[in-house]
Amino acid sequence: MFELNYYLIVSFSILLFAISKSGFSGGGLALISVTLLSITYGPLTAIAILMPMLIICDVIALYLNRKYFDYKILWSIAPFSLLGVIIGTILFKFLNLSMISIFIGMISLIYVLFNYLIVDTKLKKIPFYGSKSFWGALAGFTSFALHSGGLPLNIYFMSIYNKKVQFVAGVVFSIALVNLFKLIPYFYLEILNLDKLFSYLMFSPVAVIGVILGHWMNSKLSDKSFFLIINFFIIIASLRLMYLGIIGL
């Protein structure tokens, strides 16, 4: 029975995670997936399970969105994301994940609320609005520590894109780079090893199905509906992060 529960929980979590990796839900489903695995098997095991799935999802998502990459913008944010990963690696043993969860949740929630409550002429006056250095570094850091780098990247790309195809391509490409940056530190810190990496590949078909399903769901939505759903899931994910951080203090 335990084995069956294990395969069901991991498969369900990976399916949610893969759908989110297609650019659907603004990282909200990914956060639910990480939370479920972390509560059930512990945060380090959750990272180990999801890391090979990240690689598979990234490859498929990159292919599906290959026509819409704006490489000038995407490569310009990459160094800051790498910096965030490096900071996460250095501070890994000293991190208070609860405080980080509260901080990321608050920032993401505030920006989504401002996006709806403030007129466009004043929106750009919000601190760090459209700042690739701030959101890029924050994405690298939080992706390393919490697998939640999608939230900062969603905030950044919403500030420069109003078309879902550009937005999704930007998030997919940037997250793929961040995940590559994380591989060496994860092996160095012994969060991941080759045995774990290969053992979790049995779940790869679920990841493939999830990305394709998420991509199909995106194609059925208008730009307005898409961003409405993205913002909804960002709010849910932000509140969830804050809640987990508070009860973990």
Of residues 249 and 77, which shows the higher confidence score?
77
Of 121 and 164, the structure prediction assigns the larger pLDDT to 164
In this prediction, residues 200-205 reach a mean pLDDT of: 87
Q: Is the pLDDT of residue 84 over 90?
A: yes
Residue 64, token pair as written in the block: 């599906």
pLDDT digits 0-9 by tens, 130-149: 789 999 999 999 888 777 77
**Which stretches within 118-203 are classed as H helix?**
120-123, 132-146, 150-158, 164-188, 194-199
Report residue 1 as tokens: 């029975």
Q: Greatest CA span in the chain, whole angstroms?
A: 58
CA angle 162, 149, 75 (to 5 degrees): 65
What gap in Å lies between CA 223 and CA 29, rounded to an integer? 19
Residue-range domain boundaries for the chain? 2-248
User: Considering the chain, what is the average pLDDT of its residues?
Assistant: 81
Determine contact, residues 29/20, Cβ cutoff 8 Å: yes
Q: So what's the pLDDT on residue 40?
A: 79
- Per-residue pLDDT band at 92 (split at 50, 70, 90): confident
